[in-house]
Amino acid sequence: MVESDPRRSIPRTDHLLALPEVIAAGERLNQATIKAIISEVQNAARAGEIPVAEVASAIVSSLASRSASSLTPVLNATGILVHTNLGRAPLSPAATQAITEAAGYVDVEMDLGTGKRSKRGTGAKAALLRACPAAEDALVVNNGAAALLLAVTALRGRGSSGEIIISRGELIEIGAGFRLTDLMTTTGARLREVGTTNRTHVADYAEAISDDTSCLLKVHTSNFRVEGFTSSVDVGQLRTLADEHDVPLIVDLGSGLFTPDPALPDEPDIDTALRAGADLVIVSGDKLLGGPQAGLILGRTEAVQKLAKHPLARALRTDKLTLAALEATITHTANPIHDALHIDPDHLRERTEILAEAVGATVVDHDGRVGGGGAPGVPLPGWAIELPESCAEPLRLGDPAVVARVYQGRCLVDLRCVPESEDQSVAAAIKRVRADNA
């Protein structure tokens, strides 16, 4: 006699919904979420991944551990400061508090004194202008790509084709195959490429300017470097040319330094670009600035206001949470990205050695990176502990999730971007993984 398939005894959904623990979970989770979890566990049982007898307990456990979102907090042990796959810049305590305070009703577009409508983002704008006195005006949109899209769209109109003049050496592609050139041509504008990949001169721009020119665009090659026999045109030279032909000059810097940083001597900054004559400077808020995702546009009042009044600005505007976090990031000193960039090397070495001793590992030299399209190829000298490559996956899947760097068959744990308060958590995670693999 053939035995009955145990999967036939998987509890029915209505029976599982009637469990006291499931009913209690309904006070914080909606029915769609609860039913999805039940379905996932039932499917796992049907696939033989868990015993049928454990279906109910697995559902109860899954509901109890369900967090507010599906995003998993991780400890960034890669040594990459602005790690796009890990959400780029971690927010400062002040920015985190600002988001919490702004989560309810706030005066984002109301003057509490008069009770009338006011302009959105005045606090963030004021903070930007205080931090960058060379800027006459500022505008915040939802990311750097949106800022560039708005700029080339709003400033188009000088000629029917709206030609954007740009050096061939600055036609960049960033992560996930995203090309700035494709973004700009979606506006209907036409790119006028000048110079060559490695060398572009002022005369190349001058010869390309015509009645169809809408703007001159200079883009920081933020995620690669061209070395050797090279030549490029700086912002000051382009300003002179722009004045001669009465065309606006846009500079897209990407990474978001307000002023020069000695740790990254070749990384361009907003203040220098504006003082050199850019009409508009575009940067991202969630890179070296260390804030939330945002596109920051700073520059001359006439140019910024032209963007602010364009209909597209409404579609690209940012929300109250981003504005609050951005303002807090700019006005407060604590900043995880700045701290990781300027970390005390002796103290980093000491922390790494303590971790190595605790888990029985070896300390090796390891260069961190800015990441996120900032300071390409610039090493940030430091150290890491070396583990077998097989440790990387269980570390990522553990609690806490520790994301290390996998390189040349090794798992490298770099504490540069790990809060010091989490060092013991990292050590405990490594010990668990090594014990499981023993």
d(CA 138, CA 397): 42
Q: What is the CATH number of the domain that holds 271?
A: 3.40.640.10
Per-residue confidence at 1, pLDDT binned at 50, 70, 90? very low
Let me know if residue 133 belongs to a domain: yes
In this predicted model, what pLDDT tens digit does every residue of 382-434 receive, in sequence order? 999 999 999 999 999 999 999 999 999 999 999 999 999 999 999 999 999 99
Query: Quick one: 150 and 100 in the same domain?
Result: yes
Same domain for 119 and 151?
yes
Q: What is the pLDDT of residue 412?
A: 98
The per-residue pLDDT for range 197-225, each reduced to its tens digit, is: 999 999 999 999 999 999 999 999 877 78
Q: Examine residue 380 and state whether it is found in any structural domain, yes or no.
A: yes
In whole angstroms, give the CA distance from residue 120 to residue 181: 30
User: Are 50 and 114 contained in the same domain?
Assistant: no
Residue 52 domain boundaries: 6-65
Same domain, 181 and 98: yes
Provide the whole-model pTM. Answer: 0.92
Q: Does a structural domain hold residue 78?
A: yes
Question: Can you give the CATH number for the domain in which 81 is found?
Answer: 3.90.1150.180
Q: Are residues 397 and 422 in the same domain?
A: yes
Q: With contact defined as beta carbons under 8 Å apart, do 66 and 33 qualify? A: yes
Same domain, 200 and 152: yes
**Phi and psi at residue 114, in whole multiples of 5°?**
-100, -15
Q: Do 264 and 232 belong to one domain?
A: yes
**Residue of 162, 166, 234 lying closest to 195 (CA atoms):** 166
pLDDT tens for 50-95 read 999 999 999 999 999 888 888 999 999 999 999 999 999 999 999 9
Say if 1 falls within a structural domain. Answer: no
User: For the stretch 197-236, what's the b/e string if a residue is b when 16 or more beta carbons lie within 10 angstroms of its beta carbon?
Assistant: eeebbbebbeebbeebbbbbbbbbbbbeeeeeeeebbebe
